[in-house]
A and B are shown apart, each in its own frame.
Chain A
Amino acid sequence: MTTPTWGEPAGPLTNAEFATATQAIMANIEQVIEGKSATVRLALAVLLAEGHLLIEDVPGVGKTKLAKALARSIDCSVRRIQFTPDLLPSDVTGVSVYNQETRDFEFKPGAVFANLVVGDEINRASPKTQSALLECMEERQVTVDGTTYELQAPFMVIATQNPIEMEGTYPLPEAQRDRFTARIAMGYPDPRAELAMLSGHGDHDPLTDLRAVTDAAMVRRLIATARDVHAAEAVQQYAIALVTATREAPEIRLGASPRSTLQLLRTAKAVAALEGRDYVLPDDLQALAVPVLAHRIIPTADAQLNRRTTDTIVSEIVHRLPLPHDRARNPYDTRDGRTPTSYESRGR
């Protein structure tokens, strides 16, 4: 078995090939998840950005279904881990067992040895087990008993968690959350989509009909194509400015990490590629700021008391931050007849 490794050159695709392949995947998923094309696109973008996805929402909105649909659309190895409180790290990573025939220890790969790993209800496992994912998610390798095993490419963890039910759950540690490229919420479907769901899911599960429309090799090429998208210096500066702003915002105790800058830009490239562009726009960064940054930051106690969610804080930063320009221009701002340098203070 030849394991494709990371960094192995895979030929990029032309625009048309890329569009055909990605649209096929999206259309496939949308057979199952109706009326959520933006979410589906974001999930796909995370895949193409070589990231991991955290789907967080109330029960029953289709978190697991999205994960499974994405996994099924690609002809690759898929493993599913149901995180429970008694799950052990070795169940995730694998374990060395003694083989009496060879009189040696033999490594039995765990659930993470697959292209797509669906971790359901990840916050139900103990922190000990959650931590098992740390190495594999970032370094794409597993080290057991001193031996390091490389994971296959592509490798993506799609985890779901339920933010409402807190009983018997262990919130993800900061380090773990930082490893997820994006956190998305499914949201309730609109009435029309719900109606379509009723008629479609009435007799059988459409998930079972889902056929793979692409394979791992193709995904690797898609990833290579997305990597190649051009990000102008101004865009990179804007990404840095966004992340820096989270570190400097008074309402935030812990800002976004440098890793998040990298992932933000990577995801933006994937989104741009999905939209058929070969260059990143600040618009992409703006759209991705909340999904990519919001789950990593910790608001101050004051902000939490004021019921400020990280989502609103980040989107306010996006609306406040001026766009960097690659050339000197007057910072016109006539929103309410003042220049950006004017101060808020009024009064006698």
Chain B
Amino acid sequence: MTGRRRLGLIAAAATLLAAAPLSSIFDSWTWLFQSILTVVLIAGAAVAARTLRFPTWAQTIAMIFALVLALTWIFPSGKELLIPQPATFTHFADLIRQAGEDTRSYGVPVPDRDGLLFVAVLGIGAVAIVVDLLTAVFRRPALAGLPMLAIYSIPVAVYLDSVPVFPFIIGATGYMWLLVADNVDRVRRFGRRFTGDGRDVDVWEPSPLASAGRRLGMVGVLVAVLLPLAVPTVSGGLLTRLTQSGSGIGLGPGGTGNGQINLFAALSGQLTQNATINIIKVRTNEREPFYLRFGVADVLNADGVGNTAPRGNPMSEGLADPSTQASTDRATYTEYEAEIEVADGLRQNMLPVYNYPTGVDGLKGNWSYDGGQQVLYSTKSTTGNQKYKVTYLRPRYTAAQLRTAEPLDESNGLYREFTAVPADEAVQTRVDELIEDEDTDYDKVRAIYDSFSSKNGFKYNLSTQNTGTASDIAAFLQNKSGYCQQYAAAMTWMVRAAGIPARVAFGFTRGTALDDNTYQITNRNAHAWTEVYLDGFGWVPFDATPAGNVQGSTRSSWAPDVESPAPEASSSAGAAAPGAESSAAPGGVERPEQANDGGGTALDEGVVPDDGSWTPLLVVAGIALFLAILLIPAFRRALLRRRRHAATTGGPAPAVSSTSGVAGDITVTTESARAREDAHAAWDELIDTMVDFRVPVDPTETPRVTTQRLVRDNLLTDNPAEAAALLGRAEERARYARQPMQGAELTAALRQVRTGLAGTATFRTKARATLIPPSVLLSWRLTIADQSGRAAEAMSRLRESASRFNPRRLLSRSR
């Protein structure tokens, strides 16, 4: 098999490995089988095209054709016979559109939806083609990492906070394989002596340098993988992510049905869509109706607020009448009728209705009703293009009435289910503070509700990419910037913490009034709020989100707008929020500020970083740190020089001792030992200075020759030349003579040599010698080389001793 074909197959395999991160997106493994089929077809087409020696463009077309063929077989429209027809492409376009909708309404992991699978297979196929071309045709396997990275970016984009790391490692392994396949020869050849007679030497011949090459490669890969782990990023390093749980947005459905709609994801999907789409038109005979609702999130744990799948009876068995039930009979109810028209744009399996529906007419498909959640749902049908009539009961209560509600008994099932909260001391403390002076459940709820005011610093901000985990909700209470999702979740938590059952409701605000009793609801009206259970009144809605920021927000008498001065019942009409911020489409990339501090940690310590003011400071500190790191060699050099100068100047120098020919014993007095050390220090400094100024240093040269060359090559004259000669003589005598030279002005000499060298050096050399002295870098490099050499030696010794226990060796010995 030729190298190209082999590379093409490896590229296909690497693409499949790189697709591993998608496993965290999908619920089942259907996508993988479909992708394998597609990639195998593409690789087969590529190999065949290469065997037939097609030109590059023909290879590309062959691969694209294989991709289209695979897609046609896997996702048939039913009209084609193996070969794609025009109808097939219409079908593909349909699938893509469907995928777009699915991405908005499904949380991860998603079930096997045809649209999503199609997009996944299409994407992986396209990546396979690009990787194949880059690797086998253009021989640039490193570039092939970019399309592979594109696959990985999908889970990164979906999971805002924590991305599973193991699929990434698998993907990275694929990429490494690709690189190694292309570069293995180069690595193998590393360190081989290039001699004329060694041409036929086997590249696998053991050689210390070649193994050093392999080791270098391994070390490089390890460093490249490990270093980013330690580097703190804006959103916290990967290490922090590793320590967190693998799942993302607060979908935590309490262990039930994966693949159900994640209400929060759907909500932010609606709110963050760029276009404004009319999705629901409501005509009702109620004046100023409250919100339409369709779903409930009733689980609150460390993963945040999550929903359980609704359970109930088919709608045909009738809907409960709240006025006849003990839990809700203390409210007064009025019956209204609404005609709801859902556009094709909203396809979900939970029906938007008003509270307490008593009858639904004109609905297509099988729908069931969960009385507890008050949710109408279907497992098969969607709301797309539905038009139905709803009869519903609107409860009316006043604040005074609600105050009469008794607290629930702790043994009550509702109490147990709806007051569970994640452990968080800071939240509990804050709740305890708020409800300290309140007696009734309603007053406690009001105290919590009222605390979400701009007075307390809460600010509506749609671009907050809060992921909804418990720690993020807790962080919201600290940084006070978020939108309805955070407000609703946080209030739910706090109310639960006060011992009162609460849950998050999802639905739509009133929308824009078209005329007296017709309202137009768009995706921008998607909303979440809190429902509190007050005994005898049922689930009472409280919308803590600032009314001014939500189009169509409504306030009730029991939960007045906390921002308006008068506590009386008021409602801000839908049109009354022209400056609503909800039109601001978030980029989806901004990260919450508190992530800087690791989310929950900041809360635990009670440290509240004032967002904004820290960033420039951090940037400045970062730049300063960077500069400081750059200047470390210069500092080290300056310190070294100072120490050596101190060594060469210190102490009163005795007169030059006579070194007459009359031989005496070597007397090592403190002075002579000292003088010797001084000369060595001065010489070391001279050598370092030479290295700094790019003057070659030759270890075979004697001090005398070195100084002669220094003077000759660098055109030193007069004083610097004499100084250099003096330094050479001093070192020479310190090394080899009985008595070292004493009383010489070595520091001055060093300074003169340095001046002389600087005088003849170029500006660049001088700047380098001052800012990043090569001598320091060189000595560090040598130290590192030395250490690693020693480590390698130890390793090889270890391996040698370990090889004694090699079974193969034992066998061969026994033979």
Contact = CB atoms under 8 A, between A and B. Distances in A.
Interface of A: 12-16, 18, 225, 228-232, 234-235, 273, 277-283, 286, 318-323, 325-327, 329-336, 339-341, 343-348
A334 B661 contact: no
Given A279-B737, A281-B736, A330-B782, A347 B661 contact: no
Contacts of A346: 194
A347 B203 CA distance: 13
A15 B661 contact: yes
A228 B699 contact: no
Given A14-B661, A278-B659, A332-B778, A323 B737 contact: no
Nearest to B208: A343
A137 B691 CA distance: 49
Given A332-B687, A346-B194, A323 B699 contact: yes
Nearest to A333: B699
A323 B189 CA distance: 33
A278 B194 contact: no
Given A15-B661, A230-B737, A279-B737, A319 B700 contact: yes
B662 A12 contact: yes
B355 to A, nearest CB: 78
B661 A12 contact: yes
Nearest to A326: B735
B735 A333 contact: no
A14 B659 CA distance: 11
5 contacts: A13-B661, A234-B735, A279-B737, A331-B699, A335-B696
Query: What is the size category of the interface that chain B forms with chain A?
Result: 35 or more
Interface string B697-729: 111111011000000000000000000000000
A75 B736 CA distance: 35
Contact of B209 (A13, A320, A340, A345): A345
Nearest to B698: A335
B769 to A, nearest CB: 13
Contact of B660 (A14, A322, A325): A14
A246 B585 CA distance: 81
B659 A339 contact: no
Given A15-B660, A225-B661, A348-B189, A282 B209 contact: no
B135 to A, nearest CB: 21
B738 interface: yes
Contacts of B705: 283
Contacts of A282: 702, 736
Interface string B775-788: 00011001001000
Contacts of B738: 230, 278-279
Contact of A345 (B193, B680, B687, B691): B193
A102 B659 CA distance: 59
Which of B186, B191, B666, B782 has the largest number of chain A CB atoms within 10 A?
B782
B666 to A, nearest CB: 7
B640 to A, nearest CB: 12
Contacts of A327: 680
Interface string B657-695: 001111100100000000000001000100100010010
Nearest to A331: B699
A302 to B, nearest CB: 13
Contacts of B680: 327
Given A12-B662, A346-B194, A286 B687 contact: no
Contact of B733 (A16, A279, A286): A279
Contacts of B666: 230
Contacts of B662: 12, 14-15
A106 B700 CA distance: 58
B209 A332 contact: no
5 smallest beta-carbon distances between A and B, as pairs: A347-B194, A15-B661, A322-B699, A279-B737, A345-B193
A336 B698 CA distance: 10
A333 B779 CA distance: 11
Given A12-B662, A230-B666, A345-B194, A332 B697 contact: yes
A319 B666 CA distance: 31
Contact of B785 (A234, A323, A341, A345): A341
Which of A232, A334, A335 has the largest number of chain B CB atoms within 10 A?
A334
Interface in B189-213: 189, 191-194, 209
Contact of A347 (B192, B684, B785): B192
B561 interface: no
Which of B191, B691, B701 has the largest number of chain A CB atoms within 10 A?
B701
Interface in B641-667: 659-663, 666
Contact of B736 (A232, A339, A348): A232
A332 B691 contact: yes
A202 B662 CA distance: 45
Nearest to B193: A345
A332 B663 contact: no
A332 B737 contact: no
A271 B64 CA distance: 85
A223 B678 CA distance: 34
A339 B779 contact: no
B779 A330 contact: yes
Contacts of A286: 702
B732 interface: yes
Contacts of B737: 230, 232, 277-279
